[in-house]
Chains A and B, each alone.
Chain A
């Protein structure tokens, strides 16, 4: 051993970093979309923002019960990523902060809001609630209430795509808090071992409920969390929908070329508390305001659109339309009847025994 050590110290050190011993994806490029594409991103993000603001109001009025986790501030993530997917082919799964992901699919805001208010017309017939919503039609597999569970489930979705050779991929969202759950790493291991087509997405909104990333994570650069499984990671500005879309394309290309999974860390921020019952005392009002002022994804894109010649009036008109859609959804969700009492006993099992 001493000999080997001596031999190593005799080797001159070079300044250059060691060459990576395995292939890495190229740095993603910011998406260059048409004016219409950008306008559509804007519309989707604004719909999520207004929908969530309304959901917050309805919660305050006691119309929405239990837990309600709002997506305000994180809109660019779901919109940027899901716009890069092939509808009906690729699948998506997320945790309980799931309203935005459903809206980004174009699912009718009425049936989402009606689920939030626990009505029979809700997408889960009122039996799931805010955290448990699904749309098999859109290959949106939930909506899961247990932190981190969706990561293994999502790996299973990727397994299905590979098994069925259907050319699809699985986009698996989880938060910076879930990133510390053990099953995430069990899933990383199998996903890379079996080269499953999975894009793992950490929505790093900086706080796992009330605990900041730095207080909970030994490696706080979460995009590196796949390295020991040979899963390449990219860190992405999650407040810039075009950067997100660009990263989504890089990730999709990597995964679809059979190279196995990839990990994206989307740096984002939630403006509201963890859930409606969280007063968010663990951070200052100034911190939140500063992010809103400097990095708001919707304001950011609005300025970009204005640069492309879109008039402020046009954006205002769009906002008005969206407010109407959201107000209609809220009215529907409030007026729809609760589920029929017989629904208590339906859907427990599929077959009859």
Chain B
């Protein structure tokens, strides 16, 4: 019988892709290892290889088709001993729900199927919510992904100031490990878009030195997990220089890259460094949620005369938000944002936790509780004023953080509420964070470890005594 070829998942979070090109045609003999097709995602173009041998009997999805869901049957391969399929089996419509089909026919589920991960729920929370960016009345809005917004921010600043350059692993010829620097090499050339060896400690130091000498480096870490190798330069060399030199020597540098948990990548690749860097005087720490904030704040970070740690999130890169169409969209560093107005309880969060909070707020509204959601955006300096003003209004607070609970941003917000907002509190502040363990790999344990909207709902009801 014919073997079904299914749309493969090329990355842990891939849901769909474009079947860019068929490299074989119907009737061709294929053997294991032959490249059959090119498949594009928002991150990359990948080659799809044959595993089975036989004749390519039928192409079900023509090349150039967008939005092909993972698991869709894209072609049939006839084994050597098999009979050719009846020609009357006309080209089928794409059947996106392969899982359902398998259940209907009673056949065992086959690969490929989507990898189970709690990260998908985080992304779903984001996708379910709506964000209004800060912009003057009447400004045109365009949908764009966080990835595109970050790239535009860098490109715009590089056009304006030739001291700005980007350096990191795979930022140039590969177009970025997560495609955030896509196209920058073409526009700015290898002098300003620089591939480094795999040498975080070294290139973080090189960037720091270049900043001290007057340039404006953007140092990309493939993820902030790898910046641990370089943390000495971020803290000891970059953050302390201005103070130790009595204001004589500056270090205007941006360290940026994805931070926090991704999907099923295990403990060493899943960590939120927000609280680490936010505890260091001399650093600016930014962790945006929406594409508009990512753009406006990255531009501000590049212009800042201080060293900035700019924490992105891999799960947010592909998410689309509305971004104001303005020539120069810059947002102030150190200002939180009311992402949703409410009267009954304040949910404070940042980065991907904002999506979780907004989803929780939506569910709470169904139960008659109006939650106000504060997106901190900048973790250092922290906008205490916005947090305390909201607390004054709602008298109840829950902090939501995709990260460990101990010595966290949540801990800091709770301390601020105690020290400066005690009289406004009608209930103890609660925190909803990841479980206090290294992030496990197994899907069920990962699910239990990561922060979830239902926990936020529960905590909000608790502080509302409902």
User: Which residue numbers of A lie inside 8 Å of B, CB to CB?
Assistant: 91, 93, 122-128, 132-136, 141-146, 149, 151-161, 163-164, 170, 182-183, 186-187, 189-190, 193, 346-351, 353
Q: Are B209 and A125 in contact (CB under 8 A)?
A: no
Cα distance, A155 to B211, chains bound together (Å): 12
Cα distance, A149 to B246, chains bound together (Å): 20
Q: Mark B165-201, 1 if CB is under 8 A from A, else 0.
A: 1000000000000000000000000010000110101
Cα distance, A243 to B333, chains bound together (Å): 53
Given A141-B209, A146-B232, list of 6 further CB < 8 A pairs? A123-B246, A125-B247, A160-B215, A193-B197, A346-B247, A349-B282
Q: Are B284 and A157 in contact (CB under 8 A)?
A: no
Q: Are A350 and B305 in contact (CB under 8 A)?
A: yes
Q: Per a CB cutoff under 8 Å, which of A122, A156, A161, A347 touches B242? A: A347
Q: Are A152 and B212 in contact (CB under 8 A)?
A: no
**Is B359 on the interface with A (CB-CB < 8 A)?**
no
Known A149-B232, A156-B209; contact A189-B199, beta-carbon cutoff 8 A = yes
Q: Are B246 and A156 in contact (CB under 8 A)?
A: no
Q: Are A134 and B204 in contact (CB under 8 A)?
A: no
Cα distance, A190 to B195, chains bound together (Å): 10
Q: Are B246 and A353 in contact (CB under 8 A)?
A: no
A-B contact pairs, 11 of them (CB 8 A): A123-B246, A127-B245, A134-B248, A136-B245, A142-B245, A152-B203, A152-B208, A156-B206, A183-B202, A183-B205, A350-B306
Q: How far is the CB of A258 from chain B (nearest CB, A)?
A: 15
Q: Are A348 and B332 in contact (CB under 8 A)?
A: no
**Is B406 on the interface with A (CB-CB < 8 A)?**
no
Closest chain B residue, CB of each to CB of A141:
B212
Q: How far is the CB of B303 from chain A (nearest CB, A)?
A: 9
Known A157-B212, A187-B202; contact A146-B236, beta-carbon cutoff 8 A = yes
Cα distance, A346 to B333, chains bound together (Å): 19
**Is B151 on the interface with A (CB-CB < 8 A)?**
no
Q: How far is the CB of A186 from chain B (nearest CB, A)?
A: 3
Closest chain A residue, CB of each to CB of B240:
A132
Q: Are A152 and B209 in contact (CB under 8 A)?
A: yes
Q: How far is the CB of A139 from chain B (nearest CB, A)?
A: 8
Q: Per a CB cutoff under 8 Å, which of B197, B250, B332 touches A190? A: B197
Which residues of A are found within 8 Å of B201, using beta-carbon distances?
Answer: 152, 182-183, 186
Residues B235-289 near A (CB distance < 8 A) = 236-237, 241-250, 252, 281-282, 284
Which residues of A are found within 8 Å of B306, using beta-carbon distances?
Answer: 349-351
Cα distance, A43 to B445, chains bound together (Å): 71
Which residues of B are found within 8 Å of A155, using beta-carbon distances?
Answer: 202, 205-206, 209
Q: Are B205 and A160 in contact (CB under 8 A)?
A: no
Which residues of A are found within 8 Å of B209, using beta-carbon distances?
Answer: 93, 141, 152-160, 170
Q: Per a CB cutoff under 8 Å, which of B202, B204, B237, B243 touches A127? A: B243
Which among A170, A186, A193, A351 has the greatest number of chain B C-beta atoms within 10 A? A186
**Is B233 on the interface with A (CB-CB < 8 A)?**
yes
Known A155-B205, A156-B207, A353-B381; contact A124-B197, beta-carbon cutoff 8 A = no
**Is B421 on the interface with A (CB-CB < 8 A)?**
no
**Is B304 on the interface with A (CB-CB < 8 A)?**
yes
Q: Are A141 and B249 in contact (CB under 8 A)?
A: yes
Q: Are A153 and B212 in contact (CB under 8 A)?
A: yes
Q: Are A350 and B245 in contact (CB under 8 A)?
A: no
Which among A151, A183, A193 has the greatest number of chain B C-beta atoms within 10 A? A183
Cα distance, A261 to B233, chains bound together (Å): 22
Residues of B within 8 A of A (CB-CB), count: 46
Which residues of A are found within 8 Å of B305, using beta-carbon distances?
Answer: 350-351
Cα distance, A262 to B341, chains bound together (Å): 61
**Is B213 on the interface with A (CB-CB < 8 A)?**
yes
Known A136-B248, A186-B202, A351-B306; contact A153-B208, beta-carbon cutoff 8 A = yes
Q: Are B236 and A156 in contact (CB under 8 A)?
A: no
Q: Are A156 and B232 in contact (CB under 8 A)?
A: no
Which residues of A are found within 8 Å of B64, using beta-carbon distances?
Answer: none
Q: How far is the CB of B202 from chain A (nearest CB, A)?
A: 3
Q: Per a CB cutoff under 8 Å, which of A153, A189, A190, A353 touches B333? A: A353
Q: How far is the CB of B210 from chain A (nearest CB, A)?
A: 4
Q: Mark B120-139, 1 if CB is under 8 A from A, else 0.
A: 00000000000000000000
Q: How far is the CB of B304 from chain A (nearest CB, A)?
A: 6
Which among A127, A164, A353 has the greatest number of chain B C-beta atoms within 10 A? A353
Q: Are B197 and A132 in contact (CB under 8 A)?
A: no
Q: Are A156 and B210 in contact (CB under 8 A)?
A: yes
Q: Per a CB cutoff under 8 Å, which of B191, B204, B205, B282 touches A151? A: B205
Cα distance, A275 to B53, chains bound together (Å): 72
Q: How far is the CB of A166 from chain B (nearest CB, A)?
A: 10
Cα distance, A160 to B163, chains bound together (Å): 9
**Is B214 on the interface with A (CB-CB < 8 A)?**
yes
Q: How far is the CB of A192 from chain B (nearest CB, A)?
A: 11
Q: How far is the CB of B385 from chain A (nearest CB, A)?
A: 12
Q: Are B244 and A124 in contact (CB under 8 A)?
A: yes
Which residues of B are found within 8 Å of A91, using beta-carbon distances?
Answer: 213
Which among B202, B282, B334 has the greatest number of chain A C-beta atoms within 10 A? B202
Q: Are A347 and B204 in contact (CB under 8 A)?
A: no
Which residues of B are found within 8 Å of A152, using beta-carbon distances?
Answer: 201-206, 208-209, 233
Which residues of B are found within 8 Å of A193, using beta-carbon distances?
Answer: 197
Closest chain B residue, CB of each to CB of A145:
B236
Known A127-B243, A346-B247; contact A149-B237, beta-carbon cutoff 8 A = yes
Which residues of A are found within 8 Å of B247, using beta-carbon distances?
Answer: 125, 346-347, 350
Which residues of A are found within 8 Å of B165, using beta-carbon distances?
Answer: 163
Closest chain A residue, CB of each to CB of B212:
A141
Which residues of A are found within 8 Å of B250, using beta-carbon distances?
Answer: 350
Which residues of A are found within 8 Å of B334, using beta-carbon distances?
Answer: 353
Q: How far is the CB of A123 from chain B (nearest CB, A)?
A: 7
Which among A128, A143, A349 has the greatest number of chain B C-beta atoms within 10 A? A349
